């Protein structure tokens, strides 16, 4: 009698991969806590940074490290982030400025490992959208509390007055893109997401008005233009026109209210310009005009490498004593309230080019996908284009990347949106024979050549 053949043990099922869940959690925390806590962005950023280190070193993550290399566009974005830091480092060392000023540029360089990791570990798109809605809703709650319970004139959250309104505008643009993303969902889920995004847009509008930030007004027309380029077609033209009309009527009504904050800020701007023309520059806009005049006077003297901070301060004081500049100029010699002039004055031409690359390299990549056939790709591309173009205009009246919350939100949002968009592009290619589903690709499915269920 033949001896029984021992049966081979059934292998245990593979352990579920928790890294995409952790990645999505970090993404949601970045947006969801942006307005709610001091340095709210840092909690999710810490999760993603630790996750990137784990992905780079842990033996269990070797399959992630073997994934396809970064594309030319991915590398261009990584170099734009890294170059912003390297130029600041070289300029600081050459001119003898304080190395503490490298704190903010360093954060752009630290976004590179996050980009590398996010291009290998996918996150669920719902984490992004839920974080955006929760974050902007909390901005309204914080703004209302500061205005009506603490008695502040303008809401600032845990950021500052200008950044609170500007970043709230970007969140509102994200919610507007979310409406298009949700349109591809099943009806039961679609209506819930639509309600959340519409509420988010309302919260964004409230926070913008509560902050009184005029910088967001300048960026708004560009965001509307990009939205039309990305999503407008013959089928939704009538609906889009009606929506724009409703928003315009609401804005006009808010402007004409008896105690309108919008009108107060507009009247203040007109008054500042009038006083400046009469020789009084000690106002919000007047001081900016004087700062910019001083910068334009002194940039030609050192256009390539820029000025040392101490030497520039001494130069401005000499020009004030000589009667060439208004005395207000000596109060703002280290912050020119214009990112482009700031870069030219203190880092020269390389600094300006690095700043423009930081904005324009991702902007170009996002804009190339504004009419993509995949709606998730298109929605994420619009979010990225809206972010980059907003910062381009915010930088006209402030040095937004000089504050931690300004640069952290920008670089984190850029790499998150870029990686999410690139994952969805891969997914679209992998399941091109099936209808697109919202959400992002499961990495094991891509490696098998199939799409996620």
| Same domain? 272 vs 131 | no
The answer to the question of residue 11 being in a domain is no
Residue 435 in this model has a pLDDT that exceeds 70 = no
| Section 290-299 average pLDDT | 93
The answer to the question of residue 438 being in a domain is no
In the block, tokens 């006083």 appear at 275
Cα 199 from Cα 201, distance rounded (Å): 5
Least confident of 101-115, 167-181, 221-235: 221-235
- 48 half-sphere exposure, CB direction, 13 A CA radius: 35
The answer to the question of residue 453 being in a domain is no
| Same domain? 275 vs 202 | no
| Same domain? 240 vs 93 | yes
User: What stretches of 228-297 adopt beta strand conformation (E)?
Assistant: none
Least confident of 266-270, 323-327, 393-397: 266-270
User: Which secondary-structure segment (H or E) carries 5?
Assistant: none
Are 435 and 375 spatial neighbours (Cβ–Cβ below 8 Å)? no
pLDDT at residue 450 in the model: 37
pLDDT band at 90 (very low <50, low <70, confident <90, very high): very high
pLDDT band at 282 (very low <50, low <70, confident <90, very high): confident
The answer to the question of residue 1 being in a domain is no
Interaxial angle between packed helices 41-57 and 19-32, expressed in degrees from 0 to 180 and rounded to the nearest 10: 160
pLDDT at residue 183 in the model: 92
pTM of the model: 0.89
| Same domain? 226 vs 320 | no
Q: Coil, strand or helix: which one is 441?
A: coil
The answer to the question of residue 106 being in a domain is yes
Q: How many helices (H) and strands (E) does the chain have?
A: 17, 0
Residue 30 in this model has a pLDDT that exceeds 50 = yes
| Same domain? 101 vs 211 | yes
| Section 232-239 average pLDDT | 80
| All residues at 6 or more sequence positions from 140 whose CB lies less than 8 Å from its CB, including other chains | 202, 203, 206, 207, 210
Cα 34 from Cα 257, distance rounded (Å): 30
The answer to the question of residue 133 being in a domain is yes
What values do phi and psi take at 277, rounded to 5?
-65, -25
Cα 191 from Cα 197, distance rounded (Å): 10
pLDDT at residue 352 in the model: 97
| Section 229-255 average pLDDT | 78
| Same domain? 358 vs 240 | yes
Q: What is the share, in percent, of the chain residues with pLDDT greater than 90? A: 62
Cα 449 from Cα 151, distance rounded (Å): 58
- What is the tally of structural domains in the chain? 2
| Same domain? 317 vs 215 | no
- The radius of gyration computed from the CA coordinates of the chain, to the nearest angstrom, equals 25
Give the pLDDT confidence of 375-424 residue by residue, as tens digits.
999 999 999 999 999 999 999 999 999 999 999 999 999 999 999 999 99
Last-in-domain residue among 332, 347, 378: 332
**Which of residues 231 and 437 earns the better pLDDT score?**
231
pLDDT at residue 273 in the model: 86
Closest of 141, 147, 121 to residue 63, by C-alpha? 121
| Same domain? 91 vs 179 | yes
Residue 112 in this model has a pLDDT that exceeds 90 = yes
Last-in-domain residue among 297, 332, 367: 332
pLDDT at residue 3 in the model: 53
Domain that holds residue 185: 19-57+74-247+339-431
Last-in-domain residue among 332, 350, 382: 332
Cα 165 from Cα 390, distance rounded (Å): 12
The answer to the question of residue 187 being in a domain is yes
pLDDT band at 4 (very low <50, low <70, confident <90, very high): low
pLDDT at residue 144 in the model: 94
Are 121 and 185 spatial neighbours (Cβ–Cβ below 8 Å)? no
Least confident of 86-95, 107-116, 191-200, 240-249: 240-249
Residue 436 in this model has a pLDDT that exceeds 60 = no
Q: Mean pLDDT score of the chain, rounded to an integer?
A: 87
Closest of 309, 284, 285 to residue 298, by C-alpha? 309
Are 180 and 131 spatial neighbours (Cβ–Cβ below 8 Å)? no
| Same domain? 372 vs 230 | yes
| Same domain? 279 vs 185 | no
| Same domain? 40 vs 85 | yes
Give the pLDDT confidence of 330-367 residue by residue, as tens digits.
988 889 999 999 999 999 999 999 999 999 999 999 99
Give the pLDDT confidence of 354-364 residue by residue, as tens digits.
999 999 999 99
| Same domain? 40 vs 107 | yes
CA distances from 444 to 113, 126, 128, 211, 321 (A): 22, 19, 21, 45, 69
Least confident of 78-82, 257-261, 409-413: 257-261
Residue 44 in this model has a pLDDT that exceeds 80 = yes
The answer to the question of residue 445 being in a domain is no
| Section 223-234 average pLDDT | 91
């Amino acid at each position: 009698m033949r001896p029984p053949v021992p049966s081979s043990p059934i292998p245990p099922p593979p352990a579920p991969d928790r890294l995409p869940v952790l990645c999505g959690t970090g993404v949601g925390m970045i947006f969801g806590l942006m307005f709610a806590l001091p340095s709210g962005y840092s909690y999710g950023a810490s999760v993603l940074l630790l996750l990137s280190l784990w992905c780079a070193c842990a033996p269990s993550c070797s399959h992630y490290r073997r994934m396809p290399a970064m594309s030319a566009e991915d590398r261009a974005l990584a170099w734009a982030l890294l170059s912003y830091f390297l130029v600041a480092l070289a300029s600081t060392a050459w001119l003898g400025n304080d190395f503490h000023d490298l704190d903010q540029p360093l954060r752009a360089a630290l976004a590179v490992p996050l980009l590398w990791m996010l291009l290998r570990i996918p996150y669920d798109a719902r984490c992004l959208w839920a974080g955006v809605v929760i974050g902007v809703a909390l901005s309204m709650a914080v703004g209302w509390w500061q205005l009506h319970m603490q008695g502040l004139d303008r809401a600032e959250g845990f950021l500052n007055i200008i950044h609170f309104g500007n970043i709230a505008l970007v969140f509102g643009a994200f919610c507007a893109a979310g409406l298009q993303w949700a349109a591809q969902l099943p009806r039961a889920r679609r209506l819930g997401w639509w309600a959340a995004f519409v509420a988010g847009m309302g919260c964004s509008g409230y926070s913008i008005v509560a902050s009184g930030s005029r910088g967001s007004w300048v960026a708004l027309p560009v965001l509307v233009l990009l939205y039309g380029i990305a999503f407008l077609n013959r089928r939704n033209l009538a609906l889009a026109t009606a929506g724009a009309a409703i928003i315009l009527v609401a804005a006009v009504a808010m402007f004409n209210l008896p105690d309108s904050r919008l009108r107060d800020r507009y009247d203040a701007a007109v008054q500042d310009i009038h006083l400046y023309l009469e020789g009084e520059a000690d106002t919000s806009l007047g001081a900016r005009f004087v700062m910019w005049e001083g910068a334009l006077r002194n940039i030609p003297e050192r256009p390539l490498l820029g000025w040392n901070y101490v030497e520039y301060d001494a130069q401005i004081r000499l020009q004030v004593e000589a009667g060439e500049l208004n005395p207000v100029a000596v109060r703002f010699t280290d912050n020119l309230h214009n990112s482009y002039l700031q870069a030219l004055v203190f880092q020269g031409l390389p600094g300006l080019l690095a700043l423009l690359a930081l904005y324009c390299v991702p902007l170009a990549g996002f804009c190339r996908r504004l009419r993509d056939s995949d709606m998730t790709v298109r929605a994420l591309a619009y979010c990225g284009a809206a972010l980059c173009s907003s910062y381009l205009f915010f930088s006209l009246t402030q040095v937004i990347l000089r504050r931690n919350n300004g640069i952290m939100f920008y670089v984190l949002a850029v790499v998150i949106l870029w990686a999410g968009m690139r994952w969805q592009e891969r997914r679209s290619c992998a399941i091109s024979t099936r209808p697109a589903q919202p959400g992002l690709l499961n990495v094991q499915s891509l490696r098998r050549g199939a799409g996620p269920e």
